[in-house]
C-alpha cells in the first residue's frame, strides 16, 4: 500500500507526464507548421513516450492499492520559436522532469518505500537518455546555425525515428 504522501506525489507526476505529452504535441504541430516534418515526427514520438510514462505511473499506483486522482493539464506555451529554440525548450522541460523524478526518489527513500524507489530507477535512467538525445540534436542545430542544407539534413535524420518496437524488428 502506498502512503498518502507517496500517492499524492505520484499523482502529481502523472500530471507532469501528461503535460509533457501535451507540450511535445504542441511542439510537433509547430514543427509541422514550419515545414519540418522530421522534427514534427521526433516530437510526436516524444509525445507518445510521455503518455507511456504517465501510464506507467497510473498503473503502478493502482497496482499498489493507491488512488489515482487526475488533475487538469496546463496549456503548453510554445510561442514562435526557431527549431533550435524548440529543442532548447524541450531540454529545459526534460531538466524539470528530471528534478521532479529526483524529488520523488528522495521521498521514496525517506519513507523507506523500496518498491517505489525501484520503479523510479527506471525513470532516472530514462531521463538521462532523454536529456542526452535532446542535447545531441541541440548540438547539431548549433553546428549548422541557420544553414538551410544543414537543417534539411537534420530534419531528414529525425524523420527516420521509429517506435522502439519497429527499430528492434
So where are the chain's domains?
4-72+79-163
Top CATH class, 4-72+79-163: mainly alpha
Structural contact between residues 34 and 60, judged by C-beta atoms closer than 8 angstroms: no
Neighbour count for residue 153 (Cβ, 10 Å)? 14
pLDDT, residue 74, reads 96
Model pLDDT for residues 4-39, shown as the tens digit of each residue = 999 999 999 999 999 999 999 999 999 999 999 999
Q: Which of 53, 56, 27, 22 is nearest to 42 (CA)?
A: 27
Mean pLDDT of 139-163: 91
Percentage of the chain surpassing pLDDT 90? Answer: 92
Q: Which residues contact 43 (CB under 8 A, 6 or more apart)?
A: 24, 25, 27, 28, 31, 86, 90
DSSP character for 76? P
- Residue given cell 501535451 in the structure block: 22
Model pLDDT for residues 100-132, shown as the tens digit of each residue = 999 999 999 999 999 999 999 999 999 999 999
Amino acid at each position: 500500500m502506498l502512503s498518502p504522501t507517496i500517492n499524492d506525489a505520484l499523482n502529481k507526476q502523472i500530471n507532469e507526464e501528461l503535460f509533457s505529452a501535451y507540450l511535445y504535441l504542441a511542439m510537433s504541430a509547430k514543427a509541422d507548421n514550419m515545414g519540418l516534418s522530421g522534427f514534427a515526427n521526433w516530437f510526436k514520438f516524444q509525445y507518445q513516450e510521455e503518455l507511456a510514462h504517465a501510464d506507467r505511473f497510473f498503473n503502478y499506483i493502482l497496482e499498489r492499492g493507491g488512488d489515482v486522482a487526475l488533475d487538469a493539464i496546463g496549456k503548453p506555451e510554445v510561442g514562435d520559436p526557431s527549431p533550435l529554440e524548440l529543442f532548447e525548450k524541450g531540454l529545459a522541460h526534460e531538466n524539470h522532469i528530471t528534478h521532479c523524478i529526483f524529488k520523488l526518489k528522495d521521498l521514496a527513500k525517506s519513507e523507506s518505500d523500496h518498491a517505489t524507489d525501484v520503479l523510479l530507477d527506471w525513470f532516472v535512467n530514462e531521463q538521462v537518455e532523454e536529456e542526452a538525445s535532446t542535447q545531441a540534436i541541440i548540438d547539431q542545430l548549433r553546428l549548422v546555425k541557420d544553414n538551410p542544407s544543414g537543417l534539411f539534413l537534420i530534419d531528414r535524420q529525425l524523420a527516420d525515428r521509429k517506435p522502439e518496437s519497429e527499430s528492434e524488428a
